[in-house]
Structure 1
Amino acid sequence: MTSDHRRIDAPKLGEPYLLTPGPLTTSYEVKEAMLRDWGSWDDDFRAMTREMRTRLLALLGPGAEDFDCVPMQGSGSFSVEAMLGSFIPKDGKVLVLANGAYGQRSAQTMAYLGRDHIVLDKGDYLPPRGAEVAQILADDPAITHVVAIHCETSSGILNPIDEISEATYAAGRKLLVDSMSAFGAIDLRPSDIRFEAMVSSANKCIEGVPGFGFIIARKSELEAARGNSHSLSLDIHAQWAAMEKTGQWRFTPPTHVVAGFLEALRAHEAEGGVAGRGARYTRNRDVVVEGMRGLGFETLLDDRWLSPIIVTFFCPADPNFEFSRFYDLMKAKGFIIYPGKLTVVDSFRIGCIGQMDEHVMRQVVTAAKATLNDMGVASAAPPAAALKERAKLAA
């Protein structure tokens, strides 16, 4: 898909660009693929499900033969809960690594499930590090599993999964990865980074639409999960066993979403797979960060932790800046940005994923500059207290 096609795709349909971590701006071809109806029991749809599972496994690269892919209806959080409830034994104990809303959501899920757990909470600015994980595991031999977020989109931080994995397996424990907003654009190869299972969803870096998530897990873990789930509908072993036996989903699948997702997977391959998709997103990030900093905005994170998925910016201290008005004016210019989700300071986020390229990101910066002028904001600099807090926590 060419850069020019991405530049005209959203305006062609009269839609604003979605600068979010998903749902995101999709191609016309993905939308078009959803115009046909499919029978969930039909051989054609079962073949689509097989192709989808095979293509997703191929994204793992070397070592994929030890894994299988199980799609699960619902949002990404459904699949995260399915993973936690299916692979963590009822008598297990979990170390949840949190540095934002999605790590906290995993901890909340563990509480709902009644599974024993502890949380390493790093706040909004910093990632959990391997040495910290190693120390906690050494101090608590009852811990059986570690749960990590690959890209924490509440801040935009890319967590060091490699060193987390190394610490986990050096201590003889197991790692489960929420790669919701990273898989498909950032490598997660089992030949390089060991894990037992990971989850993602259709409406993230593969550039499909919402409707299902998917769990990629070691076959040995899938087999061992029989009877472990707390839930009928979120039982990964039961879903996997049914698909292996019949090729069908246990309950009504999102047929149109699967059709669109297959088209997105083919486009992903044509772009160069994980490396090609990741390179475009990285360029998107670099362009928007440089441009917004040129306007006076500050990023929440130091450069080394910035992901190519989404970037968090501090809200300006200027009294004329009001986020709701900034949002509305940006939307009127064709760009839907994302509110902040931090616990300490006011912020907003700009997503780098979806059917966008660097040309679109330059338009985003131009729109932001015009919007500041419209609002009478003289400076986009954040409050001094926000910078002080960042410096203190990053020290």
Structure 2
Amino acid sequence: MHDGASTQAFAPPLLGEPYLLTPGPLTTSAEVKQAMLRDWGSWDADFRAMTVELRRGLLALTGDRRGDYDCVPMQGSGSFCVEAMLGSFVPKDGKVLVLANGAYGLRAAETMRYIGRPYTLIDKGDYLPPRGEEVAAALDADPGITHVLAIHCETSSGILNPVAEIAAVVESKGRKLLIDSMSAFGAIRLDVNEIAFEAMVSSANKCIEGVPGFGFVIARKDALKAAEGNSHSLSLDVHAQWATMEKTGQWRYTPPTHVVAAFLQALRMHTAEGGVAGRGARYIRNRDVMVAGMRELGFETLLSDTWLSPIIVTFFCPADPNFVFSRFYEQMKQKGFIIYPGKLTVVESFRVGCIGRMDEHVMRKVVEAARQSLAEMKVASAAPPADAIAERAKLAA
């Protein structure tokens, strides 16, 4: 925990709410909730000033000292923003190499299919990240590829992908990188001076610890200018949103005013905690304490430590016939913790998030709740099925 964080900051959620051990929406602070209790006029000067503060605050997290980038908030969920990025920055005659190792990379490929833009796919399955040499080979084999899409943290498995490695290859091949940093931005460093990207997207309800309602695109200004006329969608046109904000200071269509107010409070708390480094350090500690405790209970992580992210961790479901995930979920919920179902294609699993307004003391309580739940279900062993381990070994080889 950062030295400036107070005990009160990690008080239990209000009104007996359970902790959300998910990759967002997540547990928010009382201060963030409080910020939503006032109404704001979407055209009013006070709200326009809030939009300016929001954009500047997010840009500050990227290390952009030359003013090459700008921030464009967009209404909707994270998937809205991914589609907005793909539809706005990839020209109609462009082609995207989608790097997938889970549900969100595959969703990006599906988005490309929906919007009718050419793409090709590297699908690594559930266990492994795409690597630089694979990207280089794909780009050499297909000169028509103009853009590469990388997922920063693939939350269906919890893999933290090697974005810096991928970015270096994409730049060396003269192509443009788009990053889905939905679940990582704000806790894992993404500095424009170290990683060259055309545009990236994230969301209010992830590592900044706001609430759902908008996402944001951070992109090169020259890319924003070049995006005019690319979009397949009226409401998801990033260039049009940017041009309107630059001219009037307003969102094109009704903004989520209460969500913006909450996000600004979350952003101030993020700064007070030590920014990206401070937030990331707390999440790493959350992960390390929780993973160590779950392993002591006999659970096994899907991934090796090399690829474990501090965002969310996937565990194999136990082989014990008394273990039923739906019952385990309810037992954990009764004890104050909402966990996340698995999203893997090969084996049964579940996920435990490390992000949100909680610290290592809460994670120890998570482990104790899991221990009690196993006992109540009469699960003798939390060890996974042997065939799941064998499948992992085979795919990871």
TM over 0.5: yes
Alpha-carbon distance between aligned partners in 2 of 1:88 and 1:9, rounded to the nearest angstrom? 44
Aligned 1:1-395 pairs, distance under 5 A: 2-10=5-13, 12-63=14-65, 65-395=67-397
Aligned AA for 2:350? F
- Kindly state the Cα deviation for residue 65 of structure 1 after the two structures are TM-superposed: 1.4
**Shift of the alpha carbon at 1:221?**
0.2
Residues 347, 388 of structure 2: 8 Å contact kept: yes
Cα pair 1:18 1:24 within 8 Å, conserved: yes
Distance 2:11 2:200 in 1: 34
Matches of 2:208 and 2:122, distance apart in 1? 30
Residue identity in the other structure for 1:65: G
Shift in CA distance, 332/64, structure 1 to aligned 2, threshold 3 Å: farther
Secondary structure in 1 aligned to 2:11?
helix
Displacement after TM superposition at 1:265 (Å): 0.2
Cα RMSD, aligned residues only: 0.8
Give the counterpart letter for 1:205 in structure 2. Answer: C
- Distance 1:3-1:374 versus aligned 2 partners, 3 A rule: farther
Q: Deviations over 1:307-364 (max 9, x none)?
A: 0000000000000000000000000000000000000000000000000100000000
Question: When the two structures are aligned, how many residues end up with a matched partner?
Answer: 394
Please say if residues 5 and 273 of structure 2, whose CA atoms lie closer than 8 Å, have aligned partners that are also in contact: no
The answer on whether the counterparts of 2:339 and 2:353 sit within 8 Å (CA) in structure 1 is yes
Residue identity matched to 2:87: G
Cα deviation, 1:203-253, whole Å, max 9, x if unaligned, reads 000000000000000000000001110000000000000000000000000
Quote the sequence identity (%): 76
Distance 1:63 1:138, change over 3 A: farther
CA distance 1:217–1:161, shift in 2 (3 Å): same
Deviation of the 1:5 alpha carbon:
1.8
1:116 and 1:244 map into 2 onto residues whose CA distance is: 31
Change (3 A) 1:252 1:64: farther
Amino acid corresponding to residue 4 of structure 1 in structure 2? T
Q: 1:156 Cα deviation (Å)?
A: 0.3
When normalised by structure 1's length, the TM-score is: 0.99
Distance 2:41 2:212 in 1: 19
Please give the TM-score of this superposition, normalised by the length of structure 2. Answer: 0.98
Question: d(CA) in 2 for partners of 1:265 and 1:338?
Answer: 26
Asked if the contact 1:22–1:203 (Cα under 8 Å) also holds between the matched residues in 2, the reply is yes
The structure 1 segments of at least 4 consecutive aligned residues displaced by more than 4 Å after TM superposition are: none
State the AA in 2 paired with 1:9: P
Residue aligned with 2:387, SS: helix
**Unaligned ranges ≥5, structure 1:** none
